[in-house]
Amino acid sequence: MMIDIRFPDGSVRSFEEEVTGYQIAESISPRLAADVLAVSVKADDDTAVGKGNVIGLDTPIVKNSSIRLLKWDDPEGKHVFWHSSAHLMAQALEALYPGVKFGIGPALENGFYYDVDLGDKVLSDNDLPAIEKKMLEFAHSREAFQCTHVAKADALKYFNEKGDEYKVELIDELEDGKITFYQNGSFTDLCRGPHLRDTSMIKAVKLTAIAGAYWRGDEKRQQLTRIYGITFPKKSLLDEYLVMLEEAKKRDHRKLGKEMELFTFSSRVGLGLPLWLPRGSVMRLQLENFLRRKLDEYGYLPVVTPHIGSKQLYVTSGHYAKYGKDSFQPIHTPQEGEEYMLKPMNCPHHCEIYRSAPRSYRDLPLRFAEFGTVYRYEQSGELHGLTRVRCFTQDDAHLFVRPDQLKEEFEKVIDLILYVFGSFKFQNFTAQVSLRDPEHKEKYIGSDENWDRAEQGIIEAAAEKGLQTVVEYGEAAFYGPKLDFMVKDALGRKWQLGTVQVDYNLPERFQLEYTDKDGSKKRPVMIHRAPFGSIERFTAVLLEHTAGHLPLWLAPDQVKVLPVSEKYADYAKKVCDLMKKSDIRSSVDDRNETLGKRIREISLLRVPLLVIVGEKEMAEGTVSVRYEGVDQGSMKVEDFIARFTASVASNSASF
């Protein structure tokens, strides 16, 4: 029987009998066969929506199928590469530390880890080079990843005899007949695969971190050692990665936040609760004002709601049933039976504002916007600077719209998000459209007609706005489809920022209505949207993206005026006052320190403009200007102010 293999460009190759991904690649070119890591296959008779299954290069394809040969550039290719590398690291660990036991070893977005039980051995950074060396040794000996199907009893016997209770526990939960072992060299692991053909493609290794991790994430169980690593098919790629890592360290927003005196944390206040310092608060206000101006333009109405709400509110919204146990627990009052909760989301409050008056079809769309502070309990191990916190402020809004207005409103929201990204020079972003799993419509609430309309609306709106989109089936929330924006920062790292979600659930739960043209009662549709995501997260991403060199309009201190000596302090103050009159955030640094020392200290704050004044400047009514460390020469104070105003107005990167 002939097998037709279809490629992404639509071309087809026929093979006489079953064929492997490797053979297909070889039939095209030896070069391709050397580069390909795995293959994604979707049989023609497979009607499920989705991209297909990733399989190893030596697994036969037995039916007519569409395939993609996965290389290093494909995230799925990297995934197989890094997962295989976890096996390679395990092999090295077993060779160096006999008796080591293994938990799980998955691939990550960047690299992989393995959770291991090393008994009494406490691993330190000093041990890592020896493990890396061993890995490269095994990689070099080109050991195949060999798959064997194992009966459950035999699988249990193998790991019982080996004394690895973690694998035994995992096997216990598996179905007999579906268990496979993979072997590379001397090391055998329980695994579903797929893997690389052999270890020789792994050419460069870096083990990046050691951490503690509880077995199965359960604090009451064994603490294991988690070893993180990353590998590459070329040495030069590792070198590039290490440079990027160094740069990322310099841009770490936690480090910048401290140097720039923007925010801090205090264990007395509590974990994950950021304290915004005066400079950070000035910046935050600028961010809010920046959005507020746009909200006006787009017809949003401001609302303000409390930081707590009756527990019953969240029972009604469904948040309590879904997240109640993992949230901050209810607050009790002296009144028997009265319970409040810290607000985990603003939406229920906004629904009640909608309900506060009768609404007609002519009132819609209604757009309520709030910089709403919410509280979510995150595990202490999950907390990270401003990106994972327990208290944060969403640039939130809820749009209540008629079904026929959905697409237009969606387009306006996309416009707003694009405006925001453009203003901060995030040029590289993708939008993920998350739709229903069409095979399991029963998992979602809301009528077919409404879903079709909403999904179609999002897809069309995204296309009309020229967004680069990825469509994911089955990734929608149970209450509606959504659009999430991922931005790439200056180092090429991906961050999730803005999100737009359609919601049929809350209007139902809160019995929201409007009176239609014909006098009948109808349900509005809700759109949740947040262009920044949250002020905290956005600040973190922006700091890492810009390395702390914020746009001039956003910098907390825009200008520092520096008299070269005490003699010119009065002139410096006069210049500073003139700037303040023109709404420039400026201050004088006339501390009794050398000019060089003051400049070095100010550079940590990343003040964009330094204005230096001395004898000559005072005599001529001028200032000497430095912008982002580059000399701009001297100019009249009025000219400086004019240039400043123009630069802010055009949001330009130069002065």
Instruction: Provide the annotated active-site residues.
Output: 347, 376, 394, 396, 398, 482, 528
DSSP collapsed to 3 states, 448-491: HHHHHHHHHHHHHHHHHCCCCEEEEECCCECCECEEEEEEECCC
- Write down the least CB distance from residue 195 to Zn ion, Å: 6
In a 13 Å sphere around the CA of 512, the CA atoms on its Cβ side amount to 32
Select from 113, 101, 123 the least CA-distant residue to 222. 101
Which lies closer to Zn ion via its Cβ, residue 192 or residue 384?
192
User: Which residues on neighbouring strands pair with residue 232, listed in sequence order?
Assistant: 204
Select from 414, 503, 411 the least CA-distant residue to 450. 503
- Contact criterion met (CB below 8 Å) for 498 and 488: no
- Write down the least CB distance from residue 269 to Zn ion, Å: 27
Q: How far apart are CA 485 and CA 421, in angstroms?
A: 10
- Taking CA atoms, 39 is separated from 28, 55, 107, 542, in Å, by 14, 6, 17, 37
Return the range that interacts with Zn ion (CB under 5 A); candidates 8-16, 45-53, 384-392, 527-535: 527-535
Which lies closer to Zn ion via its Cβ, residue 191 or residue 303?
191
- Write down the least CB distance from residue 612 to Zn ion, Å: 49
Sign for the pseudo-dihedral over CA of 147, 150, 154, 159? positive
Q: Pick from 256, 347, 454, 540 the residue near Zn ion by CB under 5 A.
A: 347
Return the range that interacts with Zn ion (CB under 5 A); candidates 346-354, 412-420, 467-475, 612-620: 346-354
Which lies closer to Zn ion via its Cβ, residue 182 or residue 265?
182
Q: Pick from 167, 359, 390, 528 the residue near Zn ion by CB under 5 A.
A: 528
Which lies closer to Zn ion via its Cβ, residue 93 or residue 607?
93
- Write down the least CB distance from residue 220 to Zn ion, Å: 28
- Contact criterion met (CB below 8 Å) for 248 and 235: no
Which lies closer to Zn ion via its Cβ, residue 181 or residue 640?
181
Which lies closer to Zn ion via its Cβ, residue 394 or residue 586?
394
Q: Does 100 bind Zn ion (CB under 5 A)?
A: no
Return the range that interacts with Zn ion (CB under 5 A); candidates 19-27, 131-139, 269-277, 523-531: 523-531
Return the range that interacts with Zn ion (CB under 5 A); candidates 44-52, 187-195, 462-470, 563-571: 187-195
Which lies closer to Zn ion via its Cβ, residue 191 or residue 555?
191
**Contact residues for 444 (Cβ-Cβ < 8 A; gap 6+):** 436, 451, 476, 478, 479
Return the range that interacts with Zn ion (CB under 5 A); candidates 25-33, 272-280, 342-350, 509-517: 342-350
Q: How far apart are CA 572 and CA 621, in angstroms?
A: 11
Residues 310-339 that bind Zn ion (CB under 5 A): none
In a 10 Å sphere around its CB, with 0-12 CB exposed, 13-18 middle and 19+ buried, how is residue 495 labelled?
buried
Return the range that interacts with Zn ion (CB under 5 A); candidates 40-48, 163-171, 191-199, 616-624: 191-199
Omega prior to 365 cis, within 30 of 0: yes
- Write down the least CB distance from residue 391 to Zn ion, Å: 17
- Write down the least CB distance from residue 87 to Zn ion, Å: 5
DSSP sequence for 68-120 = EEE-TTSHHHHHHHHHHHHHHHHHHHHHHSTT-EE----EETTEEEEEEE-TT
Q: Does 191 bind Zn ion (CB under 5 A)?
A: yes
Q: Does 55 bind Zn ion (CB under 5 A)?
A: no
Residues 2-31 that bind Zn ion (CB under 5 A): none
Residues 635-654 that bind Zn ion (CB under 5 A): none
Q: For residue 230, what is the DSSP state?
A: E
- Write down the least CB distance from residue 525 to Zn ion, Å: 13
- Contact criterion met (CB below 8 Å) for 202 and 81: yes
Which lies closer to Zn ion via its Cβ, residue 146 or residue 587?
146
- Taking CA atoms, 628 is separated from 289, 491, 533, 542, in Å, by 24, 20, 29, 17
Q: How far apart are CA 326 and CA 341, in angstroms?
A: 12
Residues 460-499 that bind Zn ion (CB under 5 A): none
- Write down the least CB distance from residue 245 to Zn ion, Å: 26
Q: How far apart are CA 89 and CA 97, in angstroms?
A: 12
Count of positions on this chain that bind Zn ion (CB under 5 A): 3
Select from 39, 2, 47 the least CA-distant residue to 23. 39
- Contact residues for Zn ion (CB under 5 A)? 191, 347, 528
